[in-house]
Amino acid sequence: MRTRGIAALAALVLVMAACSPGPESGGQLDGTDWVLRSYDLDGTLTLVPDNLYADAEFSSNRVRGFAGCNTFEALYRAGGRTLFVSQPAVTLKACDDEAMALEQAFLAALDSSRFYTSRRQTLTIYGPGHTELLVFDAAPRNPLLGEWQVTAFNNGVDAVISPLAGTDIDLTFGIGSVGGFAGCNSFSGTYGTNANLVRIGALATTRIACEQEVMDQETAFLAALQGVALVETRGPQVNLTDLRGAIKVTLVRPEPPAVALPEPSGEPTEEPTEEPTAEPTETAQPTEEPSPTPTPTPAATPSPPPSAPSTEGPLPSFAPPVDPNVATCDLATEDGTIVATIVYPGDWFTLSEPASAACRFFDPNEIDIPAGGEAPITAVMATVEASPYGEAVAAATDPASWDVRETTELVVDGLPTTLVEGTATGADPSFPAGRSRFAYLIDLGSAGSLMLFTTAETVDDAYASRAGVVTLMMAASVFASVD
């Protein structure tokens, strides 16, 4: 009976395929920020490198986005399953060769578009001959994606100030990377967000010397950027604030290119011919030729390799939640009830046995359980306590046991959550005096409470980086309350 069922299903699939109008079936273009996954490179569909980013947003017959180095804007016409895009107008920044090569190939493919399919979370654009030119994914819920100009930042003495006259500060958020120009040097790093919560890791910078006033501004801006925790959208402006709501950095989108846009060639029809009548003129790069040297607005991705920040010990290597290089494990209570699916960096290690240690320890190095059977200390740890959530929060914020620096109530995956960071006083024998902890506590209902945390004897860059990993894992993981 099972064999017949599979055969009948296969026959049905063949019938449906025979009746299908082909891969180009049209669909809804607008209302989604499409992030580029793959692009045509010399006849081969090629994945976008992890350190690069491009996107497109279709609205009111205009398509705008970030092409890898510059922002662009073009007109488009869509009808049925056809799509025609005019040659785009672009800004004139220059970036490194890899970013410029992606941009030229991306814009040339966009200009050659003839058909498209928008299905579920994927947009595919085809060219003449029905060849796949571009494949996009619907962007994750992230209001930061793309290019921004910094309009103000906190100078470290509780004052929000504008950049110095004659200096520009900009940054670009990719899927999991952030980089830009801080007024004198370029910088780069990683970040994670779940739309309203954001954590930026340690930033690497180039080492160019400028006037002292500019260097002081750069130092204050980078410190402010690494201190952000929340995203607040107010019309065209985005405010990055700390956990208490104090503004750290304010951002606006850069002005679009002020260039007249040509009309898209050809008129789309509901049922196009096998080959469009308006054959595009093949071009290796966009009409707007990027200047060979940077204009006064510096490149978002620096040509010289950034120097690594000074740390004690190796920094964790973390792939953002939307990156394929992640792994998952199920975290269960003592009775076997699964209360969370934890997402962690794909090149890290965790334990699958014994059951009491499974999915509770995460580290960039292999994990060994001490001979005495006590719990190891790893980069990130998870615990599930039977005590109610309220009691767990009270214990984590008890002034007798903890010198608490931060306490913030949040909602993660629909569940009450509290972020607590502090240093142990020594009153709790399970935590030595002077050791710091950055932790999220989550309400699991009748199952108790879950804590995801990192600890360190010294609050340094390595500790801050691990705290960033904890936030990224929180944003990507799935948690369940038990009734």
Q: Give per-residue pLDDT as tens, 134-166.
A: 999 887 667 788 889 999 999 988 689 999 999
- Measured CA to CA in angstroms, residue 352 lies from 317, 323, 362, 395, 396 at distances of 21, 23, 11, 29, 27
Among 3.40.50.720, 3.40.720.10, 2.40.128.270, 3.20.20.70, name the CATH number for the domain at 146-252.
Answer: 2.40.128.270
Pick from 104-108, 156-160, 210-214, 269-273: least confident? 269-273
> What's the CATH number for 326-479?
3.40.1000
CA torsion 178→181→184→190, rounded to 10°? Answer: 0
> Confidence band (pLDDT; 50, 70, 90) for 195?
low
Count of C-beta atoms within a 10 Å radius of residue 355: 11
Give dist(CA 263, CA 85) in Å, integer.
Answer: 8
Q: Where in the chain is the domain with CATH 2.40.128.270?
A: 20-138, 146-252
Q: What distance lies between CA 194 and its chain's CA centroid?
A: 9
- Measured CA to CA in angstroms, residue 132 lies from 38, 197, 285, 447 at distances of 9, 36, 18, 49
320-378 tens-digit pLDDT: 333 335 788 999 998 889 999 998 888 899 998 888 899 999 999 999 887 776 788 99
Identify which of 303, 283, 305, 285 has the alpha carbon closest to the alpha carbon of residue 293: 303
- Round to the nearest angstrom and report the end-to-end CA distance of the chain: 39
- Measured CA to CA in angstroms, residue 466 lies from 308, 357, 439, 453 at distances of 16, 20, 11, 9
Give dist(CA 359, CA 158) in Å, integer.
Answer: 41
Identify which of 313, 359, 323 has the alpha carbon closest to the alpha carbon of residue 456: 313
Give dist(CA 48, CA 106) in Å, integer.
Answer: 10
**Third-level CATH fold of 20-138:** Lipocalin (2.40.128)
Give dist(CA 111, CA 283) in Å, integer.
Answer: 9
Q: What is the pLDDT of residue 276?
A: 44
Give dist(CA 195, CA 428) in Å, integer.
Answer: 36
Q: Where in the chain is the domain with CATH 3.40.1000?
A: 326-479
Selected residue with higher pLDDT from 272 and 416: 416
Question: For residue 443, is pLDDT > 90?
Answer: yes
Q: What is the pTM of this model?
A: 0.42
Identify which of 74, 69, 141, 137 has the alpha carbon closest to the alpha carbon of residue 105: 69
Query: Does the N-terminal peptide bond of residue 257 adopt cis geometry, omega within 30 degrees of 0?
Result: no
Count of C-beta atoms within a 10 Å radius of residue 131: 14
In this structure, are residues 122 and 111 in contact, taking their beta carbons and an 8 Å threshold?
Answer: no
> Confidence band (pLDDT; 50, 70, 90) for 174?
confident
369-407 tens-digit pLDDT: 877 767 889 999 999 998 899 999 999 999 999 999 888
Give dist(CA 76, CA 56) in Å, integer.
Answer: 12
